[in-house]
C-alpha cells in the first residue's frame, strides 16, 4: 500500500472514530472546526484516489450496518451541508451556480443555521411514527420516544391537506438560558457539565430516560421537508417552509429571499451582529437555491448537495499552547522572536506560528514556554498571541531566554536601551541577512528575476556561490547545474531571467537596495524627484525634504545609508560590473487624491489592533501624509493606538488633534471626515 493510501485509510479511521464519539458516545473531543478540517483533508486526497477511497468507504458502511444503532434507514440520505468560513467562499458558490445555470435571476433562500442536533421526523397520515438522528446519513438512531416529549414537535398534524407520507428535517436545540440553568444545576450536584448547547441538546435528545429529555426543554426548528407519496408538489423551498409553519412547526425567525449577492452578504453581516442577542446559538446562515426544480437540476455531490452552502461565522479567538520560541534574523539584522504554537484551527486556518515582535511584547504578555495562550488574527490575517491563561500555568513553564549571539552568524547581538530592538550588526557577513537581502533585491517589486526563487537563492548562499547581488549577475549555467535539482534547460532559463532584469527603472533599483524605512512608494517619489542615480548619491537633507510626503524618519534613514562610502562604492561597482541599465520611463506624475491627511505632519504612538505599525505608516504615506518621529509645533495629527507613550501629553499641551485608531480606520476606508 502506498503512502497516500495509508494516509487516506488512517484519516478515514480517524474520522470514523470521531463520528463514533460524536454520534454514539456523545462525547466529541475535537471542535467542529477541527472536524471540518479533517473532512476537507480527506476530500482533497480523495480526488486522486477515488477507487481506493470507495473501497474503504464501503467496508466502513458494512461495519456500520452491523452496529445496532444504525438499523434505521433514512428515506433519503441525510447529507450535511458544505460550508465556508469565508465570504469569498460564498461568493464563489454564488457565482458558480449562476454560471452553471446561465441565469441571472436565480433566487436564493437564506435562513439561520441552528447549532443543534439534526433530527428527521416521519409522519404517516399526519401522525408522527418515527424520529431518527442523522447517524451516518444513511442510517440513523431511533429516538421516537424522546421526540414525543419535545414540546414543539406536533405528534399529530391537524390538517386535511397533509401528505400521506411526510418527512420533516430540522435541528433540535437548547436555548442558551436553559443551557446555563442546566450546567449551574450540574455543577451544584457534581454532575456532568456540557461544553456547549449542541452537546447538551444531543445528550438530552438521545437519553435512554425520556423523563430527562422532557425536563431539558428542547426545541425543534425545521428547515426541510420531503413529500414521499403524494401528488402535492411544491415549486420552491420557501413554499415548503410556509406549509411547515402553517402546520405548527418552528422555522428560522430570520429569512431572506433574494437573487442579489450584496443583499445576501448584508443579511449575513446583520445576523453576525445580532447573533449574541438571540436566545439560540447559531453558527452561521444557510443559503439554498430556492427553486426545487433547479435544486434537482444542480444535484448532489458525494457528501453534500451542490445547491446549498453554510456560511459560518468566524470564531475570533482560539486557545493554543506555546511550544517553543525561535529567533528569526531579518534583512536588516533585527532579531524577531517567533512563537511555535500547538497547531490550532482559527476561522478555518491552521495556525502554527505567531510573531512575538520583541522582548517588550513577551514581557507585557508575561509569556512562558508551555503556557496556554489565546490567539487571534490581526485584521483577520496575521496570527497573534492575545493573552496568556495564567491559571493554566503548570510546573513545566519555562522562562523565554533571548539569545546573546546571532542564531545565524554567531556574532554578539546588540540591544537598544529598552530592549525593543535586538540586532545582529554583522550586515553582509551574516549569512541570514545576506540571503534575505539578495532575495529582496530580486523580488517582485525590486529588480525581479522570474524563477530565481528564494529556494534557489538559499541554496546558492548556503553553498557559498553568492555573497552579494553582484555575484548573481556573474552566475552561469555551469554553476547552477552543480545544484542537484537543475537541468541545463531550467538553469538557462534562470540565467536569462537574471540577465533580463538588469534593465530596470531607477525607482525599482532604489527599492532593491533595501534601505531601512524606504518602501516602494518612497523609492518612486525619490526617483521621480531626482531623475538620476548620481543626483541621489549626492543629495542633501534640504533637497530630500522638498519631496512631498518624505518625513523625518525616511529622510534620515536615507541619508544615513548614503553617508557610508562603503555603500556608495558597492552601488557603483554593482552598476558597472553588473551592467545595470536604467530605462528612462517618462516622469510619472504621482497624483494623490486630496484627502484629510494630504500633506499633513503626522506622528504615531502606541500599538494598533488592525495594523502592524509599518503597514499603517505605508497607508498614511499613500494618502500623502508626512510621518515624523517627534511631536513639534508643526505636527497636525497624533494617531494613537493602545498604550500610547508620553507623546500624547505633549500633543495635548500643543493643542494637536489626537486621532484614535477607530477614526483612522474610517479615513483609510474613505468613510469619514473628522
Ligand atoms: Zn548574524
- What's the mean pLDDT in 524-535? 89
User: Would you say residue 606 has pLDDT above 90?
Assistant: no
Q: State the Cα–Cα distance between residues 223 and 216, nearest whole angstrom.
A: 22
Centre of ligand 1 from the C-alpha of residue 413, in Å: 8
- Residue 66 confidence (pLDDT): 37
CA of 142 from ligand 1 middle (Å) equals 66
C-alpha distances out from residue 331 to 188, 389, 427, Å = 58, 34, 9
- Nearest by Cα to 619 from 666, 672, 587: 666
- Binding site feature residues for Zn(2+): 406, 409, 430
pLDDT of residue 4: 77
78-87, 209-218, 585-594, range with the lowest pLDDT: 585-594
Predicted local confidence at residue 585, as pLDDT: 61
Q: Which of 48-52, 58-62, 121-125, 569-573 has the lowest mean pLDDT?
A: 58-62
With 0-12 / 13-18 / 19 or more C-beta atoms within 10 angstroms meaning exposed / middle / buried, residue 190 is exposed
Q: Region 203-229: what's the mean pLDDT?
A: 88
d(CA 77, CA 138): 5
Known binding-site residue numbers for NAD(+): 32-36, 80-81, 111, 134, 171, 288, 312
At 40, the pLDDT band (50, 70, 90 cuts) reads: confident
Find the 424 Cα to ligand 1 centroid distance in Å.
Answer: 5
**Cβ(557)–Cβ(614) below 8 Å:** no
Q: Annotate 149-174 with b (16+ C-beta within 10 A) or e (fewer).
A: bbeebbeebeeeebbebbbbbbbbbb
Q: What is the CA(408)–ligand 1 centre distance, in A?
A: 5
| Position 672 pLDDT exceeds 70 | no
315 C-alpha to ligand 1 centroid (Å): 39
Tell me what pLDDT residue 103 has.
Answer: 76
Position 556 pLDDT exceeds 90:
no
Confidence of residue 286 (pLDDT cuts 50, 70, 90): very high
Who has greater pLDDT, 402 or 666? 402
The phi and psi torsions of 534 (rounded to 5 degrees) equal -60, -45
Distance 329 CA to ligand 1 centre (A): 7
**Band of residue 77 on the pLDDT scale cut at 50, 70, 90:** confident
The CATH fold assigned to 83-312 is D-amino Acid Aminotransferase; Chain A, domain 1 (3.30.470)
Question: Ligand 1 centroid vs 613 CA: distance in angstroms?
Answer: 24
So where are the chain's domains?
A: 3-66, 83-312, 318-415, 430-582, 601-668
Banded model confidence at residue 480, pLDDT cuts 50, 70, 90: confident
Distance from residue 360's CA to the centre of ligand 1 (Å): 21
- Give the strand pairing for 581-582 and 349-355: unpaired
**Distance from residue 334's CA to the centre of ligand 1 (Å):** 9
Torsion sign over Cα 268, 272, 277, 278: positive
CA 195 to chain CA centroid, Å, is 25
DSSP, res 70 = G
**Separation of CA 442 and ligand 1 centre (Å):** 21
pLDDT at 253: 87
Asked if residues 174 and 217 have their Cβ atoms less than 8 Å apart, the reply is yes
Distance between the two ends of the chain, CA-based, in angstroms? 67
Q: Distance between CA 21 and CA 132 in Å, rounded?
A: 18
* pLDDT tops 60 at residue 674: no
d(Cα 399, Cα 628) in Å, to the nearest integer? 37
CATH class held by domain 430-582: mainly alpha
Distance 332 CA to ligand 1 centre (A): 10
- Whether the per-residue pLDDT at 496 is higher than 70: the answer is yes
Instruction: Using the predicted structure, report yes or no on whether residue 229 has a pLDDT greater than 70.
Output: no
- Say whether pLDDT at 613 is over 80: no
Would you say residue 548 has pLDDT above 50?
yes
Rounded CA-CA distance 326/335 in Å is 10
Distance CA 160, CA 253 (A): 26
Q: Across the chain, what does the average pLDDT equal?
A: 85
Q: Is the confidence at residue 609, as pLDDT, over 80?
A: no
Q: What is the pLDDT of residue 316?
A: 73
Per-residue pLDDT averaged across 208-227, rounded?
Answer: 90
Report CA(412)–ligand 1 centroid distance (Å): 8
Distance 455 CA to ligand 1 centre (A): 20
Distance CA 548, CA 624 (A): 8
Provide the pLDDT for residue 69.
Answer: 40
* Residue-level pLDDT at 348: 65
For the cut 90, the answer to whether the pLDDT of residue 544 exceeds it is: no
Closest alpha carbon to 85 in 478, 449, 349? 349
Transcribe 425-489 into DSSP letters. TTGGGSHHHHHHHHHHHTSTTTT--TT--HHHHHHHHHTTS-SSHHHHHT--HHHHHHSTT--HH
**Given the residues 47, 107, 113, 459, the one annotated as active site:** 113
Residues in Cβ contact with 493 at an 8 Å cutoff, skipping those fewer than 6 apart? 451
Run of H or E including 204: helix 197-205
User: What's the pLDDT score for residue 610?
Assistant: 75
**Is 113 a catalytic site residue?**
yes
pLDDT tops 90 at residue 369: yes
pLDDT recorded at residue 671: 47
Residues that constitute the known binding site: 32-36, 80-81, 111, 134, 171, 288, 312, 406, 409, 430
- CB burial class (10 A; 0-12, 13-18, 19+) of residue 381? exposed
**What is the CATH number that goes with domain 601-668?**
3.40.50.10190
Ligand 1 centroid–CA 467 distance in Å is 14
pLDDT, tens digit, 9 for 90 and up, residues 146-183: 998 898 998 888 777 788 888 999 999 999 899 989 98
> Are 202 and 149 a contacting pair, CB within 8 Å?
no
Note the pLDDT of residue 75. Answer: 85
534: which 3 cell numbers? 548620481
pLDDT band of 508, cuts 50, 70, 90: very high
Task: Work out the percent of the chain whose per-residue pLDDT is above 70.
Answer: 92
What nine digits make up the cell of 556? 534620515
Q: The complex's ipTM?
A: 0.99
Identify the helix (H) or strand (E) that includes residue 220: strand 218-227
**Is pLDDT at 61 greater than 70 in this prediction?**
no
Which range, of 48-57, 468-477, 617-626, 634-643, averages the lowest pLDDT? 48-57
- Of 204-218, 287-301, 328-342, 475-489, minimum mean pLDDT range: 475-489
Distance 429 CA to ligand 1 centre (A): 7
**What pLDDT, on a 0 to 100 scale, did the predictor assign at position 500?**
92
Beta pairing partners, 637: 602, 657
pLDDT bin (cut points 50, 70, 90) of residue 58 is: low
Report the pLDDT averaged over residues 454-468: 92
Q: How many residues does the chain have?
A: 674
Closest CA to 586 of 538, 643, 527, 646: 527
Three cell numbers, residue 593: 487624491
What's domain 318-415's superfamily in CATH?
Answer: Nucleic acid-binding proteins (2.40.50.140)
Residue 70: predicted pLDDT: 39
Provide φ and ψ at 355, rounded to 5°. Answer: -70, 145
pLDDT of res. 151: 86
Can you tell me the distance from the alpha carbon of 46 to that of 8, in angstroms, rounded to the nearest whole number?
8
Q: Higher-confidence residue: 409 or 622?
A: 409
What is the CATH code for 3-66? 1.10.287.610
Strands 657-660 and 637-640: parallel
pLDDT at 65: 42
Ligand 1 centre from 326 Cα, in Å? 14
Amino acid at each position: 500500500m502506498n503512502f497516500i493510501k495509508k494516509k487516506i485509510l488512517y484519516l478515514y479511521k480517524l474520522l470514523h472514530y470521531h463520528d463514533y464519539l460524536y454520534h454514539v458516545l456523545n462525547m466529541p473531543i475535537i471542535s467542529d472546526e477541527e472536524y471540518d478540517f479533517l473532512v476537507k483533508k480527506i476530500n482533497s486526497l480523495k480526488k486522486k484516489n477515488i477507487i481506493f477511497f470507495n473501497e474503504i468507504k464501503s467496508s466502513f458502511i458494512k461495519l456500520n450496518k452491523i452496529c445496532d444503532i444504525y438499523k434505521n434507514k433514512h428515506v433519503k440520505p441525510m447529507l450535511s451541508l458544505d460550508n465556508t468560513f469565508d465570504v469569498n467562499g460564498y461568493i464563489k458558490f454564488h457565482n458558480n451556480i449562476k454560471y452553471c445555470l446561465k441565469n441571472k435571476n436565480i433566487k436564493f433562500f437564506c435562513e439561520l443555521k441552528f447549532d443543534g442536533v439534526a433530527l428527521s421526523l416521519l409522519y404517516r397520515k399526519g401522525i408522527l411514527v418515527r424520529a431518527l438522528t442523522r447517524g451516518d446519513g444513511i442510517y440513523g438512531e431511533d429516538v421516537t420516544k424522546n421526540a414525543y416529549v419535545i414540546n414543539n414537535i406536533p405528534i399529530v398534524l391537524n390538517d386535511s391537506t397533509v401528505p400521506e407520507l411526510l418527512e420533516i428535517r430540522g435541528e433540535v436545540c437548547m436555548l442558551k438560558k436553559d443551557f446555563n440553568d442546566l450546567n449551574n444545576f450540574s455543577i451544584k450536584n457534581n454532575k456532568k457539565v456540557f461544553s456547549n448547547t449542541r452537546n447538551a441538546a444531543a445528550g438530552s435528545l438521545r437519553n435512554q430516560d425520556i423523563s430527562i429529555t422532557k425536563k431539558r426543554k428542547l426545541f425543534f426548528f425545521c428547515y426541510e421537508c420531503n413529500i414521499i407519496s403524494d401528488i402535492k408538489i411544491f415549486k420552491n423551498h420557501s413554499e415548503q417552509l410556509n406549509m411547515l409553519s402553517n402546520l405548527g412547526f418552528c422555522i428560522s425567525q430570520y429569512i431572506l429571499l433574494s437573487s442579489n449577492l450584496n443583499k445576501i452578504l448584508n443579511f449575513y453581516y446583520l445576523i453576525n451582529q445580532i447573533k449574541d442577542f438571540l436566545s439560540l446559538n447559531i453558527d452561521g446562515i444557510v443559503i439554498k437555491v430556492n427553486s426545487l426544480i433547479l435544486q434537482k437540476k444542480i444535484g448532489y455531490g458525494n457528501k453534500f448537495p451542490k445547491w446549498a452552502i453554510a456560511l459560518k461565522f468566524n470564531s475570533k479567538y482560539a486557545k493554543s499552547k506555546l511550544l517553543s520560541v525561535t529567533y528569526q534574523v531579518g534583512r536588516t539584522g533585527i532579531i524577531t522572536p517567533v512563537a511555535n504554537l500547538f497547531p490550532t484551527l482559527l476561522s478555518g486556518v491552521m495556525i502554527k506560528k505567531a510573531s512575538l515582535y520583541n522582548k517588550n511584547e513577551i514581557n507585557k504578555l508575561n509569556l512562558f514556554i508551555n503556557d496556554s495562550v489565546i490567539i487571534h488574527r490581526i485584521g483577520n490575517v496575521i496570527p497573534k498571541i492575545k493573552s496568556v491563561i495564567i491559571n493554566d500555568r503548570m510546573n513545566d513553564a519555562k522562562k523565554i531566554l533571548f539569545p546573546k549571539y546571532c542564531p545565524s552568524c554567531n556574532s554578539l547581538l546588540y540591544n537598544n536601551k529598552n530592549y525593543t530592538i535586538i540586532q545582529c550588526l554583522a550586515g553582509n557577513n551574516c549569512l541570514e541577512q545576506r540571503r534575505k537581502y539578495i532575495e529582496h533585491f530580486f523580488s517582485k517589486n525590486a529588480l525581479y528575476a522570474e524563477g530565481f526563487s528564494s529556494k534557489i537563492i538559499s541554496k546558492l548562499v548556503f553553498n557559498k556561490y553568492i555573497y552579494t547581488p553582484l555575484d548573481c549577475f556573474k552566475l552561469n549555467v555551469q554553476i547552477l547545474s552543480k545544484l542537484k535539482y537543475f537541468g541545463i534547460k531550467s538553469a538557462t532559463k534562470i540565467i536569462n531571467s537574471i540577465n533580463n532584469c538588469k534593465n530596470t527603472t531607477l525607482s525599482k533599483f532604489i527599492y532593491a537596495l533595501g534601505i531601512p524605512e524606504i518602501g516602494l512608494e518612497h523609492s518612486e517619489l525619490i526617483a521621480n524627484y531626482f531623475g538620476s542615480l548620481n543626483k541621489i548619491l549626492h543629495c542633501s537633507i534640504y533637497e530630500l525634504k522638498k519631496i512631498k510626503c518624505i518625513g523625518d524618519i525616511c529622510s534620515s534613514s536615507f541619508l544615513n545609508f548614503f553617508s557610508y562610502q562603503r555603500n556608495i562604492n558597492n552601488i557603483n561597482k554593482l552598476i558597472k560590473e553588473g551592467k545595470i541599465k536604467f530605462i528612462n520611463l517618462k516622469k510619472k506624475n504621482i497624483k494623490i487624491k486630496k484627502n484629510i491627511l494630504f500633506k499633513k505632519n503626522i506622528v504615531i504612538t502606541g500599538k494598533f489592533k488592525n495594523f502592524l505599525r509599518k503597514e499603517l505608516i505605508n497607508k498614511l504615506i499613500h494618502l500623502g501624509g508626512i510621518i515624523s518621529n517627534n511631536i513639534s509645533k508643526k505636527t497636525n495629527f497624533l494617531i494613537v493606538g493602545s498604550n500610547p507613550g508620553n507623546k500624547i501629553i505633549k500633543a495635548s499641551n500643543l493643542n494637536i488633534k489626537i486621532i484614535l485608531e477607530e477614526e483612522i480606520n474610517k479615513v483609510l476606508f474613505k468613510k469619514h471626515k473628522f
